[in-house]
Amino acid sequence: MAEIGSSVEISGSLASSTLPPPRTRIFKIIVIGDSGVGKTCLTYRFCAGKFPEKTEATIGVDFRERLVEIDGEKIKIQLWDTAGQERFRKSMVQHYYRNVHAVVFVYDVTNAASFRSLPAWIEECKQHALGTEVPRILVGNKCDLQDSIQVGTDVAQQFADAHSMPVFETSAKNPNSQGDGGNCGGANSDHVEAIFMTVAHKLKSQKPLVLSQPPEGSGVTVNLNRGTDDGGGGARSWGCSSC
Ligand SMILES: Nc1nc2c(ncn2[C@@H]2O[C@H](COP(=O)(O)OP(=O)(O)OP(=O)(O)O)[C@@H](O)[C@H]2O)c(=O)[nH]1
């Protein structure tokens, strides 16, 4: 038995000296929406596993990362918590939209104005050339405040359907407190953890589109084939067809 053990060790060290270390893929997910909807709290909840005791308006952007394992592969989920206040966005906005893998739009279920702002946020994505191939989801936050709900599940679902994205209702403060079939809790009600992991699974399952050029002079049009590289930018459509 001892001999078997040592031979395993030798092959292990040989393998590690000849194979390159596995790459960790990074998924950049931007989180956008009005000021105060809970973007910082949602990203903190996912990355730190708890509700922050105190938050202040985000200036520019904050980054939070979490390493997760999906189907045996380690993946770094990088959440870009963007400022909701216009005056804190201006200088950074160009950076948000570079090399984005997915977008999370957030509104506050107790604040109808934050829901009415969503078309403007979608328009901003469009202005920054975020293509329809970039997955996007809609999250209604603060479902723990059951008595103050202003945005019903039905209207959120209709909006999400019209923009070809899934909608989730949750609470960064108390993710287990979704409604009991009332206004908040009908549509894809889920924990913060599950919401971001859903996005990560979606990204991981995608294969980028790789342009394969035909031989010169063949007169054949360019084909789009599924490549095997990281699941970055050229992913398949899961998102808003009109953005
Ligand atoms: N009850 C409740 N309060 C929440 C929840 N999420 C966030 N809040 C509160 O809402 C306020 C704003 O939260 P933030 O996470 O800072 O909001 P934001 O969207 O990041 O705001 P900006 O940085 O200005 O864009 C804070 O007082 C939070 O404690 C939630 O799920 N339930």
DSSP state string for 62-109:
EEEEEEEEETTEEEEEEEEEE--SGGGTTTTHHHHTTT--EEEEEEET
Helix (H, G, I), strand (E, B) or coil at 34: coil
Distance of CA 134 to the CA centre of its chain: 10
> Model confidence over 112-148: pLDDT tens digits?
999 999 999 999 999 888 877 899 999 999 999 999 9
- CA pair distance 89, 109, nearest whole angstrom: 23
Q: Identify the pLDDT of residue 188.
A: 52
Q: Angle, nearest 10°, between helix axes 39-48 and 192-205?
A: 80
CA quadruple 131, 133, 135, 137: dihedral sign: positive
Q: Which listed CATH number (3.40.50.300, 3.40.50.10440, 3.30.450.20, 2.40.40.20) goes with 25-173+189-205?
A: 3.40.50.300
The residue to mutate among 32, 41, 54, having the most atoms of ligand 1 within 8 angstroms of its beta carbon, is 41
Model pLDDT, residue 138: 97
Domain boundaries, the chain: 25-173+189-205
- Residue stretches of the chain with pLDDT short of 50: 1-15, 179-182, 208-243
How much is the ipTM here? 0.99
User: What confidence score (pLDDT) does residue 106 get?
Assistant: 98
Nearest to 36 by CA among 121, 141, 119, 125: 141
Atom of ligand 1 nearest to the CA of 174: 31
| pLDDT confidence of residue 45 | 95
pLDDT value for 18: 73
pLDDT value of residue 4: 37
Contact 114, 80 (CB under 8 A): no
Q: Is residue 173 within 6 Å of ligand 1 at its C-beta?
A: yes
Q: Are 156 and 125 in contact (CB under 8 A)?
A: no
